[in-house]
Structure 1
Amino acid sequence: MLVIEAKLKGTQSQYSKLDEAIRTGQFIRNICLRHWEDNKGVTRNDLQKLCSVLAKNQETPWTKKLNSQARQAHADRAWSAIQRFYENCRLGKPGKKGYPKYQKFSRSVEYKNSGWKLSADRKKITFTDGFEVGTMKLWSSRNLIWYSEKQISRVRVIRRADGYYAQFLIAWDRLQEHEFQGKMTGIDLGLKEFYTDSDGNTVENPRYLRKSEGRLKRLQRRVSKKHIKGKKQSNRYQKARKALAKQHLKVSRQREEKARKDALALVKSNDLIVYEDLKIQNMVKNNRLAKSISDASWYKFTQWLQYFAKVHGVIVIAVPPHNTTVDCSCCGAKVKKTLSTRTHRCSKCGIILDRDHNAAKNILAKGFKLLSEYLNSTVGHTESGVKSSFIAGRN
């Protein structure tokens, strides 16, 4: 699946109608969730039928304005949340199971194959449902002219701090040629450096949130000063609130771009990548490190790493992080360290390494062990070209 995003340019009246469509989609999702709570044995098909009932109901006539397939798409959103909750309960996931919640501030509405129409040059989109949004311009660095409307499975309209965007979900199998040379690396994610690989190379941690904290605090003070409790907020308050939201959006985009570029560079230069499978949700419970961990954006990086690995046909393995910092990568002896100890000194073999470099070597060894066990268990079966190339490079 390929996602192409374009900014929507239109009038204030058109933006208001898009807001109405977003609120209607939120209402349908919440009604579907309430229907599931009030009735036993509700299925996905029951939620789909409920959408047509809402459109015909005299108490909710505004729901008919939203395209029928868009109504079903929001019923699917509710069912996805329900299904995820059931799956977590079935697997016995520790802690919270992710019980579905009602949405209060939804920012998107989703259309399937109808309710919208692209112009011949793919530079305009027309929304044809009951909200009568009309035609809006599309601003994007990617050209949609290469894809037919049949390939576009969904169109998602998203409201952000700096405007409205349309996301086109295109059925496309993206594959890139990769020259396999038998290179492999293990990476240790950290806060001092974004990551350190098993060869001792490091990538800088940019700390985008920390660098923007001064401006964010000033903008937050302006919002607080202009807020009047219990009354309708002024235009100056709304202006200050939007400025704060735009700054947060800028930080988010910087993290996303950094994670994407680093992941692509790593995949292009290696045939086997091993990283530690960190439980980030548990780690951010540490009040002293939560902000720094969130600012590092490890999760986005690993998500992009897995995506580009599929595109390039590269092997990516996630290994448990237990004892990767404590074990000596040379002799295997355990060397206890505090969080402030940045150098690994083994009293048994005498090796001296950077703490993260030592951990990266242990991570690579763990990943290579898991891969060897997998290959040994598949003896007698034809191995893929990726594995064969990796083994050839290793030898």
Structure 2
Amino acid sequence: MIAAPGFDVIVVGGGPAGCSTALSFLRSSKDTRVLVIDDSDQTAFKVGESLPSEATRVLGYLDPTIPGLLREASVAKDHLTSTGNSSAWNGPDLYDNYAIMSVWGPGWHLDRAKFDETLRHSVRQQLEGGRRGELLCARWTSIERIGTKWRVEAQDQGTGAMQSYECLWVIDATGRKASVAKKLGARTVKRDDLLAFYTVFEKADSDVIDNDYRTVIEATESGWFYTTQLPKQRRLVVYHTDGASPTAKSARKLTEWLALLHDEAPQVSSLVGGPGYEVLNEPGVSYPRSTAAASSFLEPVWDETTQWAAVGDAAMAFDPLSSQGMLTALKTGSILGLELARRLANDETQRRSMVDVYDVIRKDFEEKKAHYYGQVRRFDTEFWRSRRGEVSPQDATR
């Protein structure tokens, strides 16, 4: 029998969390090998388009060339520079928070597929032509424990061939579905039932210029909207509400979603109507589309005995109001990569517990979430009452 190729670490998932873990591990260790298994669809649109300016520091740590590539892409309009946030939260009027006031400068509105590919390109460069490992376009299919190692099987996306790989540590970076961790017995604990219903718009008249590069957020009776401009003269509008809300049913139909937007979110609606946008017409794609947006965490998130861990949304998913999902994925991936290197080098002097790292992040997030949702007093619906602590989220979604 031919032995399965061996690696120190296998990362399942080639998005920001998986790539940051791999890059941090490679820069923190020597003579180690990592396999990244990536099954992403680069043609599919993905919500998660805003990147805070603070990410520059983390990206520079992972690979000093990435911030420069991001700036070049912004000049070419592959990404857009954000001018800040504006919100109609506890009242109907907008209040601005300008990006120029940030110590890190402006953030970005990303072409998410291009950004993710920039990270994967960086991983390929750091793999040194295969000496340090491989980035494989494949779909993982199974995992089993064999002695002191993991055996992961994956199907090549190009050839369809099946291949087994072995490693000491396996990392779940598969997003909210946390498919690897759940196979190993972990479970996702949801803190609420938030859903996101989104529509992408395109310019109907290319001569009409949209110069608004803010992220605009607006509270409504049963949830909240936000909009942001995207590259290629497009604009994204997202509505968030609980799964049990009557609007969660109506928001699945475009006519009713648009009525909800125009009737309840005048600030956001004006940014779509004014510059002459229309719903994007893509073959095989209909809007609005829905996706999970609940706050959640994985339990357990790490097992040092059998040597597996989760990272990114697989480990902990955030309410989109925080705008911290991608930044936290990059940060925790950076920390996890370093901790993996320390453990494989048997360095016990500076080890950190990833459980403690995640606990600190989750506590900080929950406090800020309660603070910002608690500011909204103009609505007395179950959506807002549950977030103000006046009724439990479980009761509100029954």
TM-score, with length taken from structure 2 = 0.22
Query: Comparing both structures, which one devotes a greater share of its residues to strand?
Result: 2
Q: Which has the higher contact order (CA 8 A, sep 6+)?
A: 2
Q: Give 1 or 2 for the bigger CA radius of gyration.
A: 1
TM-score, with length taken from structure 1 = 0.22
